[in-house]
Amino acid sequence: MTLLALETSCDETSAAVVRDGQILANVVSSQIELHAEYGGVVPELAAREHLKNLPPVAQAALHAAAISPAQLDAVAATQGPGLPTALLVGFKAAQAMAFALNKPFLGINHHEAHLYSPWISGAPLAADFSKFQPNISLIVSGGHTLLVLVAAELKHRVLGGTIDDAAGECFDKTGKLMGLAYPAGPVIDRLAAEGNPRAYNFPRPLQHDANDDFSFSGLKTSVRYFIRDNPALLDDRQKVCDLCASVQAAIIEVLVAKTIRAAKRHGVRCVTASGGVTCNRALRNELERTCHHHGFSLRLADKALCTDNAAMIGILAERKLRAGLAPAEPDAEIQPGWRLE
Ligand code: KG4
Ligand code: ZN
């Protein structure tokens, strides 16, 4: 079965061709530089960029996969959640293409696709669900922080999420307070590697609360006050590295502690993680270390698939078709606020 998948929910324009669980092509055009000037994603600009970039990106994916549109068995796109005008571009393009080819069309929940992205690995990248185990899945990105129980393939339940800022947002906003470029997550990752994570002590919000929710805005505020009271610190590179390491440690400690606790509580033996923040080396190392310590197997999304991509959309769409789930109605609409349940 061969599918074309499109992803345009935020600031990455992506198209992928997937065949029988294999990623034949996954082309991603990032708009990070465009939005960096504004310190965050500007929805209208994102939509215009998607409009401009989607045709060449889709062409490039088909070309790289050596697949012609006539060879496609289905077309899929992210239906939500995401920025409405951005979502519309990929969703309507995929719908029109499916209509023109007279093939099934699938609208995919972006977060559900993240849930299964850790099962895509290897070179060339391919999904391997033969090793699937019930798991606790952590999704951490610029817009979302979710802890999900994945009891079986295509069967999941959200346990908790952030009640304010997402983990990636916390990286980006605290980095901005330090004067770092947007998105600050990767910069903090680099600087933190040269810093002392115990140099400064920041709160670990909700770490010991009984629920599976997260909160990062208090941590951001405490970094704001810390910098206000110690402005000279920003002129000392080593202290900035220490600050980055300390903030990063606070974020990671909460994420890892609550993930492990949920895994124990639900009796699963496997932990998975995906989303842009999963690129963070300290988070990857800490998850490795802690999962090993507690006897959990760990599947981290491949670094190429942590940030938004159409490959994960295509893989989930193919699983759904194979499982006999009905394609979307030809006139289905985007669901910008589609929450994973
Ligand atoms: O998944 P993603 O590409 O887009 C969203 O759906 O939000 O994630 C982007 C987020 C940004 O907040 C960015 O700062 C963060 O992921 N990020 C990182 C790293 N790489 C990306 N955060 C920490 N360390 C990184 N290495
Ligand atoms: Zn995402």
Please, what sign has the CA dihedral across residues 291, 292, 295, 299? positive
Task: With a cut of 90, say whether residue 223 has pLDDT above it.
Answer: yes
Q: What is the pLDDT of residues 168-208, one digit of tens each?
A: 999 999 999 999 999 999 999 999 999 999 999 999 999 99
Whole-number Cα distances in Å, 252 to 21, 44, 241, 255 = 32, 32, 16, 5
Task: Return d(Cα 86, Cα 79) in angstroms, integer.
Answer: 10
How does pLDDT run across 88-123, given as a tens digit for each residue? 999 999 999 999 999 999 999 999 999 999 999 999
Instruction: State whether the beta carbon of 307 lies less than 6 angstroms from ligand 1.
Output: yes
Q: What are phi and psi of 299, to 5 degrees?
A: -125, 115
**Residue 331 confidence (pLDDT):** 86
Q: Residue 275: CB within 6 Å of ligand 1?
A: yes
- Mutational pocket test of ligand 1: of 277, 306, 308, the residue with most ligand atoms within 8 Å of the beta carbon: 277
- In ligand 1, the atom with minimum distance to the C-alpha of 144 is 7
Tell me the per-residue pLDDT of 241-292, one tens digit each, with 9 for 90 and over.
999 999 999 999 999 999 999 999 999 999 999 999 999 999 999 999 999 9
Q: Closest by alpha carbon to 205, among 222, 192, 185? A: 222
- Distance from the alpha carbon of residue 276 to the mean position of ligand 2, in angstroms: 7
Give the Å distance between the CA of 47 and the centre of ligand 2. 16
Nearest ligand (C-alpha, residue 12) = 1
- Asked whether 143 lines ligand 1 (CB < 6 A), one says yes
C-alpha span between 70 and 23 (Å, rounded): 18
- In single-letter form, the type of residue at position 153 comes to E
247 lines ligand 1 (CB under 6 A): no
Q: Whose CA is nearest to atom 13 of ligand 1?
A: 185
DSSP string, 281-306: HHHHHHHHHHHHHHT-EEEEPPHHHH
Atom 7, ligand 1: residue with shortest CA distance = 142
Strands of the 135-140 sheet, one edge to the other: 155-161, 145-152, 135-140, 270-274, 297-300
